[in-house]
Structure 1
């Protein structure tokens, strides 16, 4: 069987079993869009990639519809997506994209708070398949990052065309870029800083022959960022090649949360990746020239979580910051879940903290952030 024919779940198990590992190279508070010392550096093209905590017009999601990808787990993951969409839809508009022939079933599952729009999709990972939205010239525009199924690892005949189709559907201008990447590759503070893992972008399965410097130049042009911080990441151990949104997240300008393994577990490729990220971030400065505070958030006890599977993602980093709520996974380790919720409340006191059980989604190698994509409101 070719790699492209493997399901997401099957591929993850295959890669883990094979022990394939290549580490990347080490790279040498206020929430309203401006830092305490004034506005951020302005990109030459006037473009800006906003932070997730800024105001949203809507949240996009996608309805998983492929038995080739999910097999017998399809109904469970559809149930998780419906529950997540309903939880977010109680606080802000949610638009769920679904294959036309599956739209009625999606509406029935998600309820009246969720708008279902017929649009051809393969899978649920809206973070990666929906365009990355930027502001420019008083308009929202969408960057099409040429979704390729994470380097041709999964079927993507529909998802590969989704960015263009969605932009046409909503009359949003499309920005083209030669870079192949996914929305989960990037993390920003909204003030010109971009953090990403080298393993998921400077990789022959996405951008063969493209150097890191060239990728950085193209990202700055497409997204309007002025400072790029590179983390090493991990190649070949999961389908995304270690997206940054399971490793670290900004919660305010100059403040990041960093994933940490459950205390006492032996070191592995993921904990070493987190250690490398910590070393880079603690010595880095953001686009304003300010230092970055790193706060570690441990994973739950693997013996207490309710989900299982070789691909299960138990990182709290894969949360979603909505306009009125913060949605984070609930794994079943009550002590760890409570700690994560309290930490979110400290950083987002004006938002409701909404824990959501997503065992089927996490079992497929992703999380809440992977399944959501925010459309920014002009002016933040």
Structure 2
């Protein structure tokens, strides 16, 4: 009998759909086609200069030419603890912080540390593409709690309770949300947190977009809002979105000491320490003020309003107003099965493929986020490209019959 070349565990992992769309768009652009990409979720701004200078200085420091602790530079861990208290009112010790190679490693290590095979995780859909793969690799079972545009993609306590079973161990809570931009109000955060505490669930909360809220929406950390969750909260975060540092690859995990120690043991064998130069840059970022993010947020807010207005002017497209992150998540369900470009796309994936080929606009279909019939568009790109891209989309979709 011939054994499979690739393990079943790794074969089950899907490629990141957002990165795949971005790669295809860039390849077409390199071939000379004027593609506008709404796929990747990264700010179009450069990393602020003072952060770059901190990295340059670190390159010259012999201390950073050697191994450092696997769990992170002590001064960075302390700065992250201080920043967490400053930004969300959540008081933690430096020993409760693990510095990771980007937010994705924090996600993976959190689930790998908490889950045994068969443990269930409640995941609100639409969800970011990496969550299912991290849960699957850890042996966990994802249980979707599906939301749609009628509720602004917000899940209720009643929906969560309906999905809970005796095997439920973790609630994954994300606000602001990727891909929808949904933001739970402080009252909703508190209600969900109290429900989780009542049923003694762990809460893994991804707060990577904490500083990107608009239109009067406010970020509320579930860890702060519901102290009775106690030592069953794991907070995931990083510098990527707040400081335009997606390529620097620095994230972190905050949790109870036993979880952080276990996750640090895992990281010590997987990657050892995060790049010291990147850690020095992250130290400058989290130790500084938030003036750079205020400038970026103002630009994102302007683009958000433009994109949502233009999308809602397209017949058959319904786009709730996103109140956080930098994504719009319009429904295109009304357009499926209709003729466009001589074809009748039955899925949002097929429609997205046609749009890329014919209109030279890259969007990520809802299938990637667990809810077919939608597109995710990032508005973290220049104003001119945004208007041109959505205009192309409107012109092309306007031809649907």
**TM beyond 0.5:** no
More helix by share: 2
Give TM-score scaled by structure 2 length: 0.28
Max Rg structure: 2
More strand by share: 1
